[in-house]
Amino acid sequence: MGMSLLFLMLVFLYGLLSLMTAVLKESPRISASSGGENTKSADEQATIQAAAIAVAMARAQAEQGSGFLSKPAEDLAAGARLVSPWWALHHQRQLTLNPNTRRIR
């Protein structure tokens, strides 16, 4: 009975999400004075400009060394890789799990 209720609720939630998506879907807005093509190209231009600004800001932050990419782009291109703290922790735990397999002489 519990599994039946679970699947019934999943179907109900899926139907509710589908209904909300259909009802709340935005329709494309077309202004009568400027036409549809000019509005579309203006939106595309705004998107391209926003992307260019985001890339410029990310590069400036990387050059200052305050972001995740604290190394210069030349070092990263030369083959140096950044290691996340989680990856380093995983490898450290693997080494300390069985200390007899690896000894420093």
Residue 78: give the domain boundaries. 40-99
Give me the number of domains the chain comprises: 1
Burial, 61: exposed, middle or buried (Cβ in 10 Å; 0-12, 13-18, 19+)? middle
Q: What is the pLDDT of residue 82?
A: 73
Residue at 44: amino acid letter: E
Ranges of the chain with pLDDT below 50? 69
What single letter denotes the amino acid at residue 77? Answer: A
30 in any annotated domain: no
Considering the domain boundaries, does residue 47 fall inside one? yes
- Model-wide pTM > 0.85: no
Q: Is 13 part of any domain?
A: no
Sequence length of the chain is: 105
CB 82 within 8 A of CB 71: yes
Helical segments of 25-100, H only: 36-64, 73-77, 85-97
User: What pLDDT sits at residue 6?
Assistant: 96
Is residue 51 situated within a structural domain?
yes
